């Protein structure tokens, strides 16, 4: 199903090509303008169904998290398969859902990071010198943005100012010098402002856990919905203190919108092998459908 992504190596361009091909083959699938990354790459996003109250699925915040990207693309392939009359579409009663609701997929929040991870710091273009300095401070594989910021910690909710002021670009878990400093973060915030999202779901690996956004701004049914989602795949549901993540997208979204935000941490090993994609998808496909229609 995703052979074109693997045939020439997994990268940003192949992801964009895959989405373009699906848009051509499925007229109801359309591109959503999302803005650009720090290096000027367009953030790839597509939508299907009504956009009055859509659900958002976002992945690829960290450049070493290839499986989360592939998980969303695998799901999209099934959603837009015209020959799947007895499969995922009918199982989730999706034709009726798409009449009144919709889905926005943003499979690669951090395209610069994925390109740098695949091709080296030359892929940072005019930010090459900054990326080289950040690379010298990293431990292990590249996972940050082109500017050395961990995009899972850059949102303006309980932002870790101590780490921002005392840390340096490229160091593990560096949240940025200030909240919402990154072009990718700003683009995602604009998307949330442009659409009245029913729910936002962030996909990351690993962890085998469902992390709902709790707190005074989250909807009162967040715990109940979280239990349903966790039960659908058998993942762990942490208590509120453990589920809260400083500077995270899901907690920022719930606090700013008053609607449900979740992080689904998929898989066990770190990193999750790409060979585990199909069994991982088989375990999570019903959970993904539930996150849409709940």
Q: Which string of b and e fits 202-216 if b means at least 16 CB within 10 Å?
A: bbbbbbbbbbbbbee
CA distance 125 to 224: 46
CA distance 64 to 85: 35
Instruction: Name the nearest CA neighbour of 10 among 89, 91, 113, 88.
Output: 113
pLDDT at 221: 83
pLDDT at 11: 83
Residue 252 neighbours by CB under 8 Å, 6+ apart: 155, 156, 157, 261
At CA 47, angle to CA 44 and CA 48, rounded to 5? 150
At CA 201, angle to CA 116 and CA 244, rounded to 5? 90
pLDDT in tens, 203-219: 999 999 999 998 777 88
- Polymer length of the chain: 294
Give the pair of three-digit tokens for residue 164: 């921002």
pLDDT at 30: 93
Residue found by looking up tokens 């659908």 in the block: 232
pLDDT at 192: 96
Distance of CA 233 to the CA centre of its chain: 19
pLDDT in tens, 47-67: 999 898 999 999 999 999 999
Please indicate, yes or no, whether the overall pTM of this predicted structure exceeds 0.85. yes
The helix-helix angle for 277-293 and 66-79 (nearest 10°) equals: 60
Q: Which segments in the chain show pLDDT lower than 50?
A: 8, 85-86
pLDDT at 249: 98
CA distance 124 to 81: 35
Strands 55-59 and 199-204: parallel
pLDDT at 86: 47
pLDDT at 2: 61
pLDDT at 1: 53
């Amino acid at each position: 199903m995703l052979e074109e992504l693997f045939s020439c190596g997994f990268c940003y361009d192949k992801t964009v090509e895959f989405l373009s091909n699906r848009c051509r083959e499925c007229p109801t699938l359309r591109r959503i303008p999302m803005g650009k990354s720090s290096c000027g790459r367009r953030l790839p996003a597509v939508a299907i169904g009504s956009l009055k109250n859509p659900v958002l699925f976002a992945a690829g915040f960290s450049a070493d998290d290839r499986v989360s990207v592939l998980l969303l693309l695998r799901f999209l392939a099934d959603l837009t398969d015209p020959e799947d009359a007895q499969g995922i579409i009918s199982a989730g009663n999706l034709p009726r859902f798409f009449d009144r609701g919709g889905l926005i997929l943003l499979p690669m929040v951090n395209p610069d990071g994925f390109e740098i991870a695949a091709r080296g710091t030359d892929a940072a273009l005019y930010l090459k010198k900054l990326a080289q300095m950040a690379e010298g401070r990293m431990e292990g594989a590249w996972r940050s943005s082109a500017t050395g910021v961990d995009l899972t910690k850059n949102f303006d909710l309980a932002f870790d100012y101590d780490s921002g002021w005392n840390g340096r670009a490229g160091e593990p878990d560096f949240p940025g010098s200030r909240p919402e400093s990154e072009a990718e973060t700003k683009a995602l915030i604009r998307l949330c402002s442009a659409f009245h999202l029913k729910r936002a779901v962030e996909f990351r690996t690993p962890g085998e856990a469902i992390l709902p956004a709790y707190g005074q701004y989250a909807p009162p049914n967040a715990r109940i919905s979280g239990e349903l989602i966790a039960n659908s795949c058998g993942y762990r549901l942490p208590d509120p203190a453990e589920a809260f993540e400083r500077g995270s997208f899901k907690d920022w979204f719930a606090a700013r919108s008053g609607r449900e935000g979740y992080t689904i941490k998929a898989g066990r090993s770190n990193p999750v092998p790409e060979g585990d994609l199909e069994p991982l998808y088989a375990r999570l496909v019903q959970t993904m459908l539930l996150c849409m229609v709940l």
